[in-house]
Amino acid sequence: MQNVLILGGTRFFGKKLTANLLRSGADVTILTRGNASDSFGPDVKRLIADRTDAAALRQAVGSGDYDVVYDNICYTPQDAEAAVRLFDGRAGRYIVTSSKSVYPFGGPRKKESDFDPYRYPLPSEYPDKPDYAEGKRLVETVLFRQATFPAAAVRFPIVLGSDDYTRRLHFHIEHIKQGLPLGIPNPDALLTFIDSDEAASFLGWLGTSALEGPVNACSKGETTPGKIVSLIEEALNTKAHVADKTDDDHMSPFGVPESWYMDTSKAESAGYTFRQLDDWLPDLIRKLAGES
């Protein structure tokens, strides 16, 4: 039986990861700030702490050892350093959720080697509030330079699902339904996505794998913001009002200046098979459109 700790396991794909691990027979502990309820009842152990408070995190975790630690809520190098110190000699494997945002826009399909955290320079002083992309770059760099335990960083693209609390796909459906302008600077930019079910499935698989270092994870195939808009128009039977520039409130979360998509051969060579994007994205759009 795996003894697993999940930092951030009560919503979106973290919640699904927790459920999957419980079904597999794992002994699961979740650590959160305690602000969100969950439906796991006595099946999980719960630790309450603010992830960004290193002392509170250490106190909450206590002397526990874990076969696998999943960290879904690590956004700064300070938090990564705290985790490296805390789990030294106490984690059989450490998996942090990273992001496609570590890569720049444009160019061919992104491979893990396109951002090398083993060689990325660490600043002499960490920024107090790095932007999201730089925060994830520094998290990976700290983890792979300083950790004494086996570690992996999953580079997810935008994760979609009916349970997406950020409502990024909902945003497009609501704008088109309400006749609001939708800002998309490059409708033909190639993008990759993953759904919340597969994000959770991949994390669970990685916890039993020997794969280390950065790992891209996304559905097979690409789409574009323009194709997503067309699917929504079809589902709603409504024409979208797309512009290359709008007020910030109406700019698409998928509105990237250039193509931004990933290569998943590393994970697939290790034995994981990703779903086709077209097998789930059109259905999800129709589902959300019917609920809006």
SS3 183: strand
For residue 1, pLDDT beyond 80: no
Reported as a pLDDT band with limits 50, 70 and 90, residue 107 is: confident
The verdict on residue 270 lying in a domain is no
**What CATH number does the domain containing 235 carry?**
3.90.25
- Which two three-digit tokens encode residue 13? 């794909």
Q: What is the mean pLDDT of the chain?
A: 95
Indicate whether 129 and 174 sit together in one domain.
no
Give the model's pLDDT for residue 38: 84
Indicate whether 131 and 49 sit together in one domain.
yes
DSSP state of 112: G
Alpha helices in 63-190 (DSSP H): 77-86, 132-146, 168-177
Indicate whether 181 and 166 sit together in one domain.
yes
CA distances from 98 to 101, 141, 179, 221 (A): 8, 11, 35, 20
Indicate whether 169 and 202 sit together in one domain.
no
The verdict on residue 272 lying in a domain is no
Instruction: Find tokens 């909450």 and name the residue.
Output: 60
Query: Please, are residues 82 and 67 in contact by the beta-carbon 8 Å criterion?
Result: no
Indicate whether 143 and 241 sit together in one domain.
no
* Residue range 228-245, pLDDT digits in tens: 999 999 999 999 999 999
Indicate whether 145 and 70 sit together in one domain.
yes
Indicate whether 241 and 150 sit together in one domain.
no
Query: Please, are residues 23 and 201 in contact by the beta-carbon 8 Å criterion?
Result: no
The verdict on residue 269 lying in a domain is no
Mean pLDDT of 190-199: 98
**What CATH number does the domain containing 100 carry?**
3.40.50.720
Q: Residue 232's domain spans which residues?
A: 161-192+221-260+277-291
Reported as a pLDDT band with limits 50, 70 and 90, residue 35 is: confident
Indicate whether 64 and 180 sit together in one domain.
no
User: Rounded to an integer, what distance in angstroms lies between the CA atom of residue 185 and that of residue 236?
Assistant: 23
Least trusted range by pLDDT, from 36-50, 136-150, 263-277: 36-50
Give the model's pLDDT for residue 9: 78
More reliable by pLDDT, 129 or 288: 288
For the chain, what is the domain count? 2
Greatest C-alpha distance within the chain: 58
DSSP state of 220: B
Indicate whether 139 and 31 sit together in one domain.
yes
Indicate whether 85 and 27 sit together in one domain.
yes
Give the model's pLDDT for residue 291: 86
pTM of the predicted protein model: 0.96
Indicate whether 18 and 96 sit together in one domain.
yes
Sign of CA dihedral 74, 143, 70, 114: positive
The verdict on residue 96 lying in a domain is yes
Indicate whether 40 and 116 sit together in one domain.
yes
Query: Please, are residues 292 and 177 in contact by the beta-carbon 8 Å criterion?
Result: yes
Residues present in the chain in total: 292
Query: Please, are residues 88 and 66 in contact by the beta-carbon 8 Å criterion?
Result: no
The verdict on residue 265 lying in a domain is no
User: Rounded to an integer, what distance in angstroms lies between the CA atom of residue 34 and that of residue 60?
Assistant: 12
